[in-house]
Amino acid sequence: MGRPQDPVNTPMKIPFVDLQGQYRAIADEVRAAIEPVMANTRFILGEEVRLFEQEFAAFCGARHCVGVASGTDALHLALRALDIGPGDEVITQTNSYIATALAISYAGATPVFVDCDPKTCQIDVKQAEAVVTPRTKALLPVHLYGQPADMDAVQAIAKRHGLRVIEDACQAHGATYRGRPVGTFGDAAAFSFYPGKNLGAYGDGGAITTNDPALDTRLRAYRDYGQREKYFHDFKGFNSRLDTIQAAILRVKLKRLAAWNQSRQRAAATYSKVLSRIGIEPPRQVSHGTHIWHLYVIQVANRAVVQKRLGDAGVSTGIHYPVPIHLQKAYADLGRLRGSFPIAEAAADRILSLPMFPEITDEQVNHVASELAKAL
Ligand SMILES: *Cc1c(COP(=O)(O)O)cnc(C)c1O
């Protein structure tokens, strides 16, 4: 193979996320964790699930954690276990991943969308209160991109109107609000362990955290065909369990999550410093919160051109998300037309997610910034 390539002539390729780099760093430990599960064959609700649930509850400062099959299921089962269903309305933001709304639909309830704050993209709490009706049962704020929603305001609205609160924490493992981790501000919180999330499994996975022991008991039955004990079914539950193998992997990764989040914070600080220098406004951070940078999202005019030029220069980017949920065909039945939520609609055309993962180096961040300056 001869001499190493001349770095001057090799364009630096920067992935959007780098799961392979992370795997190389922990491969031995992951294999050692999986091996006993293969040998003891307790693939469903084995010991590692119970241990991971305890450890993740402790990480979030929550009393209980119930492992399920995905983040979407975590939201869906939390709504079900809180008795939210047909005829009920659940208020959430239109600028989220569609799973937030789908979970409400799966429960048989109706999602009621609101707009977002133009700077932070977090749920517009004033609008959320304005759309409360006698049918409203719950608020479902999303800790979008890795920073917390305005939970003081959310909790105050819930209290005034007697509503439940379910946190969509699928992008916010370890983010804090007023010094406390997300996951305990609502009646329940949903986490996703989709591979690309800050805590990702090697497949699908999710969890619900709660401080309510009765809800914990109901959720354990809900994920397991509604059974109270084997073959005794009190209600029509679901098959939605976190695999033992995934729990074993997640236990290895959870030990590193705080350090990985810190690495993301360091990378974000570097991004924000160099982007300011080239005249790009860094993402606005909420007050009273820590951002764990699941995504580093800037806003640019001419997004399509900028994204194409970055791609041609070897820099992979993403858009989270190009179409607000109320404008998705899947939700055309709700009849919310373009213009209903102008802030989220305008943001959808301008947002651009830059490469972000714990292993990203300062050199890579600087390179993204200089390619971005050129692309603009
Ligand atoms: C990833 C995600 C979900 C869904 O999680 P899955 O594990 O993919 O089902 C829900 N809401 C938000 C905000 C997400 O980012």
> Ligand 1 in contact with 93 (CB < 6 A)?
no
Q: Are 187 and 210 in contact (CB under 8 A)?
A: yes
> Ligand 1 in contact with 99 (CB < 6 A)?
yes
Residue type, 70: S
Quote the ligand 1 centre to 206 CA distance (angstroms).
Answer: 9
The DSSP output letter for 61 is: T
Q: How many angstroms separate the CA atoms of 173 and 59, rounded?
A: 9
Quote the ligand 1 centre to 78 CA distance (angstroms).
Answer: 14
Q: What residues pair up with 92 in beta bridges, in sequence order?
A: 113, 140
The alpha carbon of residue 174 and the mean position of all alpha carbons in its chain are separated, in whole angstroms, by 11
3-state secondary structure of 243: strand
Which tokens is 291 given? 């951002």
Quote the ligand 1 centre to 97 CA distance (angstroms).
Answer: 7
**CA neighbours within 13 Å on the CB side: how many for 291?**
22
Q: Is the dihedral of CA 299, 285, 21, 242 positive or negative?
A: negative
3-state secondary structure of 291: coil
H helices present in 7-142, as ranges = 19-40, 47-60, 71-81, 99-106, 125-130
- Return the beta strands (E) in the chain as ranges: 64-68, 89-93, 110-114, 136-140, 164-168, 176-177, 180-181, 188-192, 206-210, 227-229, 232-233, 289-290, 296-299, 351-354
The DSSP output letter for 328 is: S
pLDDT at 12 (0 to 100): 87
The DSSP output letter for 225 is: T
Among 94, 144, 173, 192, the mutation site with the greatest number of ligand 1 atoms within 8 A of its Cβ is 192
Which tokens is 41 given? 């064959």
This prediction's pTM = 0.96
> Ligand 1 in contact with 117 (CB < 6 A)?
no
For the chain, the first-to-last Cα distance in angstroms comes to 38
> Ligand 1 in contact with 124 (CB < 6 A)?
no
Query: How far are the Cα atoms of 85, 171, 190, 204 from residue 193, in angstroms, in the given order?
Result: 25, 9, 10, 6
Residue type, 215: L
The alpha carbon of residue 242 and the mean position of all alpha carbons in its chain are separated, in whole angstroms, by 17
Q: Which helix (H) or strand (E) holds 95?
A: none
Q: Which atom of ligand 1 is nearest to the CA of 194?
A: 7
pLDDT tens across the length of the chain (376 residues): 444 555 555 678 999 999 999 999 999 999 999 999 999 999 999 999 999 999 999 999 999 999 999 999 999 999 999 999 999 999 999 999 999 999 999 999 999 999 999 999 999 999 999 999 999 999 999 999 999 999 999 999 999 999 999 999 999 999 999 999 999 999 999 999 999 999 999 999 999 999 999 999 999 999 999 998 899 999 999 999 999 999 999 999 999 999 999 999 999 999 999 999 999 999 999 999 999 999 999 999 999 999 999 999 999 999 999 999 999 999 999 999 999 999 999 999 999 999 999 999 999 999 999 999 999 9
3-state secondary structure of 181: strand
pLDDT at 228 (0 to 100): 84
Quote the ligand 1 centre to 320 CA distance (angstroms).
Answer: 12
Prior bond of 202 cis (ω within 30°): no
Quote the ligand 1 centre to 192 CA distance (angstroms).
Answer: 6
Q: Are 98 and 330 in contact (CB under 8 A)?
A: yes
> If you count them, how many residues does the chain have?
376
What pairing do the DSSP bridges indicate for beta strands 188-192 and 164-168? parallel
